[in-house]
Amino acid sequence: MSHAFAVDRAFATVAFKRRLAYKTQWMVALVLGGGAMLVSMAMWRYLLADGALSGYDWDSMRAYIIIGFITATVVFGAADWNIADRILDGHIAVDLTKPVDFQRARAAEYIGSMASTVPTVVVGVIGAWLLFDPPGPASPTAGVLTAASFVLVFPLAFGITYMTVLVCFWTKRYLGVMWLREALLSFFSGMMIPLAFMPSWLQAIAWALPFPHFTTTPAAIYLGHVDTAGALGLLAAEAAWAVGLWLGARLVFRRAVRKVTVHGG
Amino acid sequence: MPILEARSLTKTFRRPDKASGFKGAVKHLAQRKYKNYTAVDGIDLSIDAGESVAYVGPNGAGKSTTVKLLTGILKPTEGTVRVMGRDPHTERIANAHDIGVLFGQRTQLWWDLPVEESLKLLKHMYGVSDADYKARIAKFDELLDLGEFMPALARTLSLGQRMRADLACALIHAPKMVYLDEPTIGLDISVKDRLRAFLREMVNDGTTLLLTSHDLADIEEVCERIIVIDKGAVAYDGPITELKAHYITTKAVNLYLEDAVDVPALAEKFPEFTWAAGEAPSEVTVTYESARFSTAEVLGSLTAQLAPRDLSLSEPSIEDVIRRLYAGELTR
């Protein structure tokens, strides 16, 4: 393993351990993380009792909700505050004295913290599978491509989060930025309601943004709403957003780092 | 050959110019005004390999900003810095491999993990071999008693332990150039002594050190050269011994006599000395020029003629000199 990957792994491991350091919080998330999913299931079961709505019947909605649970748990459970805090309280000064690429180190940390939510995902998915018996993927290929879409959620989530965290260099506050990002992500990803329920102009806006890849893309591939070519196209778009945000963040950081003003020791 | 060179180093920050109170806050919302504030003003520095340099100045003088410019954290507004031939800001990562930095007020430990985890992550970051890591940890343990709190969570450490652990973090890769910004802040005297002994050993081993501290004992015990900075500019740069020899030209003896002291009468009797009343009526301080009189000579004369019941010598200190430098009374 090259030195750079060993450093990435070390950062990711430390971030993972930091999440586990707060055992009670982690255990509560593990046991109760699926609670919101149960509420969603109950609501949609009621709404779909009379048949399909906008192409979703109870069968496909069960799978959709589980997919939404997976991405929401991984994305909202990551440690974005750690990066924001370091910028806001001046600890970035310490980070900048280390022989590592700031963005890459934060990405490794972020992915390590996302990985700490995987046990919650596993417990939640197993529980949901036993309770609700959702349909399997439309085809083995769809299953594999759905898994690929989940994997791409990690760099994509980092790209969006990191970009918004860098805004702290200008805003000097993070809370509002985080609320805005989470609201946009919840809404335009389809986590709250599937995009198919939205008017076409709103769907067009959603697809012009990276957010649908957090739930709508893996769900569409899994449920067979798109064929293999369509699935590959969605994955290419998801990957392109991840790469674009990565490169864009580099440009933003280059400007942002000039704004470092750490006073007083 | 200098290991560090800075020429006309300047850093200007933009600060909001806001009137106080609610009205000021509202006005600033509508009409934003800013003022430029020069924290570092055209500083020239040259430090040779192996030197131990104290960088001192009053609060807000620009010490920490200079350290941040030298370590590549901040980009200078004007001027240049070269550390081992590199620009520390544009070549930040390469430069970071060869430097060690400690900010006394900011820990580099991962707060919620054992100290050992932070050190292991740094080992990976710097690519320290297993053998070197073990040897250095053993040395830190010997000099700083690191072993006793290696398994402890960083947030449970005392300030002294935290500072020792941070020092180990700053030095785990055996850097050639070390910047320590207030490394003894808030520490008790025994921990300070251990840290100073450790730093002396590090300097003796050939590491170049730039130390900022408000504790003059740190400076006197660890450094050979002192740079005094005030209002963003260098007020003095030279060997500490020279600073003392140059500016500490007088010594003092405190005399405790049997009866109340008549200071004007003594001043008349011994016009070659300067006399000042002490705290009690029977106390007096005699100041004499160290170049003209030896201490033995002064003591002999005073004890013979005044028969004090006790006396004490005021040790020469650079503290007063630096205080006077800060106040602008002295220039080089």
Residue B160 has pLDDT above 60, yes or no: yes
Residue B332 has pLDDT above 70, yes or no: no
* A contact residues 4-43, partner B, Cβ 8 Å cutoff: 6-7, 10-11, 14, 17-18, 21-22
Confidence of residue A257 (pLDDT cuts 50, 70, 90): confident
Domain parsing of chain A, residue ranges: 3-259
* Amino acid in the structure at residue B235: A
Residue in this structure with the two tokens 């805090």, named with its chain if needed: A85
Residue B105: its chain A contacts at CB < 8 A? 264-265
Separation CA A109–CA A11 (nearest Å)? 5
Residue B38: its chain A contacts at CB < 8 A? none
Residue A174 has pLDDT above 80, yes or no: yes
Residue with more model confidence, B232 or A27 = A27
> pLDDT tens digits for B38-73?
888 899 999 999 999 999 888 777 888 999 999 999
The string of DSSP letters for chain A reads --HHHHHHHHHHHHHHHHHHTSHHHHHHHHHHTTHHHHHHHHHHHHHTTTS-BTTB-HHHHHHHHHHHHHHHHHHHTS-HHHHHHHHHSSTHHHHTTSSS-HHHHHHHHHHHHHHTTHHHHHHHHHHHHHHH-----SSHHHHHHHHHHHHHHHHHHHHHHHHHHHTHHHHS--HHHHHHHHHHHHHHHTSSS-GGGS-HHHHHHHHTSSGGGGTHHHHHHHHTSS-HHHHHHHHHHHHHHHHHHHHHHHHHHHHHGGG------
**What is the interface pTM, i.e. ipTM, of the complex?**
0.86
Nearest by CB to B104, which of A97, A263, A265? Answer: A265
> pLDDT tens digits for B202-261?
999 999 999 998 888 888 889 999 998 887 788 889 998 888 777 777 888 899 998 888
Using CA coordinates, name the residue in chain A closest to B100: A97
Of the candidates A204, A11, A17, A34, which has an alpha carbon nearest to the alpha carbon of residue A128? A34
Residue in this structure with the two tokens 């980092």, named with its chain if needed: A158
Residue A97: its chain B contacts at CB < 8 A? 71-73, 96, 99, 101
The CA-to-CA distance between both ends of chain A, in Å, stands at 38
Q: Is A122 on the interface with B (CB under 8 A)?
A: no
Chain B nearest C-alpha distance from A230 (Å)? 42
Residue B134 has pLDDT above 90, yes or no: yes
Residue B316 has pLDDT above 70, yes or no: no
* B contact residues 214-273, partner A, Cβ 8 Å cutoff: none
CB atoms within 10 A of CB A31: 13
Residue B329 has pLDDT above 60, yes or no: yes
Q: Do the Cβ atoms of B159 and B186 come closer than 8 Å?
A: yes
What's the whole-number mean pLDDT along residues B273-282?
89
Chain B nearest C-alpha distance from A159 (Å)? 22
Q: Which two tokens stand for residue A148?
A: 């690929």
Q: Do the Cβ atoms of B136 and B174 come closer than 8 Å?
A: yes
Give backbone dihedrals phi and psi of A85, rounded to 5 degrees, phi first.
-60, -40
Separation CA B207–CA B213 (nearest Å)? 18
Give backbone dihedrals phi and psi of B99, rounded to 5 degrees, phi first.
-120, 155
pLDDT at A261: 66
Separation CA B43–CA B60 (nearest Å)? 15
Residue A106 has pLDDT above 70, yes or no: yes
Q: Is A48 on the interface with B (CB under 8 A)?
A: no
Q: Which two tokens stand for residue B293?
A: 């009189």
Which distant-in-sequence residues (6+ apart) come within 8 Å of B140 by Cβ?
B146, B164, B167, B168, B171
pLDDT at A262: 60
CB atoms within 10 A of CB B127: 14
Chain B nearest C-alpha distance from A137 (Å)? 41
Nearest by CB to A265, which of B72, B103, B125? Answer: B103
Separation CA B229–CA B301 (nearest Å)? 41
Strand partners, A53: A56
What's the whole-number mean pLDDT along residues A201-210?
97
Residue in this structure with the two tokens 């351990």, named with its chain if needed: A17
Nearest by CB to B124, which of A6, A90, A265? Answer: A6
Q: Mean pLDDT across chain B, nearest whole number? A: 88
B74, B83, B214, best to mutate vs chain A, most A CBs in 10 Å = B74
Chain B nearest C-alpha distance from A172 (Å)? 13
Confidence of residue B315 (pLDDT cuts 50, 70, 90): low
Separation CA B183–CA B64 (nearest Å)? 12
Domains of chain B: 50-66+87-245 (3.40.50.300), 249-315 (3.30.70)
Q: Which two tokens stand for residue A53?
A: 């709505």
Chain B nearest C-alpha distance from A102 (Å)? 9
Q: Is A204 on the interface with B (CB under 8 A)?
A: no
pTM: 0.83
